[in-house]
Amino acid sequence: MFYVIGLGLGDPKDITVKGLEIVKRCERVYLESYTSILTCGQEKLEEFYGRPLIIADRELVEQGADAILAGANQSEIAFLVVGDPFGATTHTDLLLRAKEKGIPSRVIHNASIMNAVGCCGLQLYSFGETVSIPYWTDSWQPDSFFDKVLANADRGSHTLCLLDIRVKEPTLESLTKKIRQYQPPRFMSCSEAADQLLKIVHRRRESGESSCRLSDRSIVVGLARVGHETQVIKACTLREMHQLDLGPPLHSLIIPAPEMHPLEVEYLQQFCDDDLQALVKRALAPPSTIFKLDATLSSNS
């Protein structure tokens, strides 16, 4: 049997009882290490599980899938994933490869950022399409994901932005000279994501795009280390988020819908500074069942 097991978001104890029982009896256990990470690190996991783990980086998963699946017809092999197994298409591909080889497989689910974002009070069924914000370079600055943010806003939906991580990425020299060299690990922060969003907003307004709903005064929600005891949630303007340090990774960013339900706003208040909290409280005073964040900020600025 080939198992793909979700580890949850916080620490080693977040694995399910079912998942832990499987891990303890498997012949080989791989730990996927490039679509996400646990803040506790490999050693803490090995200590809790009582067995060694094989790190599965991007190179191994994408080019060595056959090695991972080898022997799974005769024994039990586990592949551990931070969050839930279906949080990344890479894991779907592994399961399809197992099926092609006639290897039985089983998925053990767990919490992921896709449902844990409810911790900020925004209602899960009000979220639209999730987007990923990639790191920019001097010559590559894609912004196609921004159109999905605008489309979500037009539909009255929140947007969860998953922020880029770079683990064991080859250096430019290693690509040109065919030597093994890797860049230091990088994890995009909410501040970096806000900086790129501000630049996109500025460019689009300069180009005359009048339909851009986002501005530097739009409310965003920063999440850091969700599920961990050091979890941080901060609601502020996009401009303010650019200046905030929410601490170590992993970070995620939410762009709320322009119109929010009063219960969402009331819950979100606790993560605002006093000045913004006052605006939010005043917005709840009218009998309307909907609160327009951008309009309130504009009229009170």
Nearest by Cα to 34 from 153, 218, 147, 186:
186
Hey, how many other C-beta atoms are within 10 angstroms of the C-beta on 86? 16
DSSP state of 4: E
Q: Phi-psi region for residue 178, left (φ > 0), alpha (ψ -120 to 50) or beta? A: left
For residues 49 and 23, the answer to whether their CB atoms sit within 8 Å is: yes
Is 228 annotated to bind a ligand? Reply is no
No. of H helices and E strands in the chain?
A: 13, 14
Residue 30 token pair: 């791989």
Is 251 annotated to bind a ligand? Reply is yes
Residue 143 token pair: 């912004």
Instruction: Evaluate the omega torsion of the peptide bond into residue 250 and state whether it is cis, within 30 degrees of 0.
Output: yes
Spell out the alpha helix ranges (H) of 169-273: 172-177, 190-206, 238-242, 262-268
In the block, tokens 């929010």 appear at 260
Is 274 annotated to bind a ligand? Reply is no
Query: Distance between CA 232 and CA 250 in Å, rounded?
Result: 11
Is 113 annotated to bind a ligand? Reply is yes
For residues 37 and 250, the answer to whether their CB atoms sit within 8 Å is: yes
Is 84 annotated to bind a ligand? Reply is yes
Residue ranges of the binding site: 9, 84, 87, 112-113, 163, 226, 251
Residue ranges of the binding site for S-adenosyl-L-methionine: 9, 84, 87, 112-113, 163, 226, 251
